[in-house]
Amino acid sequence: MIDGRVALQQRVLPSYRKLFLDRLAQACPDGLSVFAGPPRKAEAIETTIDLQSANYESARNVHLLWGRYYLCLQLNLMAWLKRWDPAILILEANARYPFNRLAIQWMVRRGRPVLGWGLGAPKPTGFFSSYRRQWRNRYLAGFDGLIAYSTQGADQYRQTGFAAHKIHVALNAVSPPPSNPPIRTKTADPLRLLFVGRLQKRKRLDLLMRACATIDAPPQLWIVGDGPYSSKLKEIAGRIYPDTKFFGAIHGEDLKPIYSQADLFVLPGTGGLALQQAMANGLAVLAADGDGTQRDLIGKENGWLVKPDDIHDLRKTLVEALSDRGRLVTFGKASYQIVLQRANSDVMAREFVRAINKIAGAER
pLDDT score for 270:
81
Comma-separated ranges of CATH 3.40.50.2000 domains in the chain:
6-175+344-359, 192-342
How far, in Å, CA of 186 to CA of 282, rounded? 12
How far, in Å, CA of 96 to CA of 215, rounded? 44
How far, in Å, CA of 321 to CA of 61, rounded? 45
How far, in Å, CA of 301 to CA of 290, rounded? 19
Q: What is the DSSP letter of 254?
A: G
Alpha carbon 149 to its chain centroid, in Å, reads 7
Q: For residue 120, give Cα distances in angstroms to 79, 123, 202, 292, 303.
A: 28, 10, 20, 9, 24
pLDDT score for 360:
87
pLDDT score for 364:
32
Helix (H, G, I), strand (E, B) or coil at 98: coil
pLDDT tens digits, residue range 33-44?
Answer: 999 999 998 887
* pTM of the predicted structure, to 2 decimals: 0.90
pLDDT tens digits, residue range 248-267?
Answer: 999 888 999 999 999 999 99
Please list the rounded mean pLDDT of every run of 10 residues in the chain (364 residues).
96 95 97 97 88 96 94 98 98 97 98 96 89 95 96 95 96 87 81 94 95 94 93 96 95 90 94 85 93 87 96 97 95 95 94 94 52
pLDDT score for 272:
66
The CATH code of domain 192-342 reads 3.40.50.2000
Write down the CATH superfamily of domain 6-175+344-359: Glycogen Phosphorylase B; (3.40.50.2000)
What is the per-residue DSSP string for 183-221?
------SS-EEEEES---GGG-HHHHHHHHTT-SSPPEE
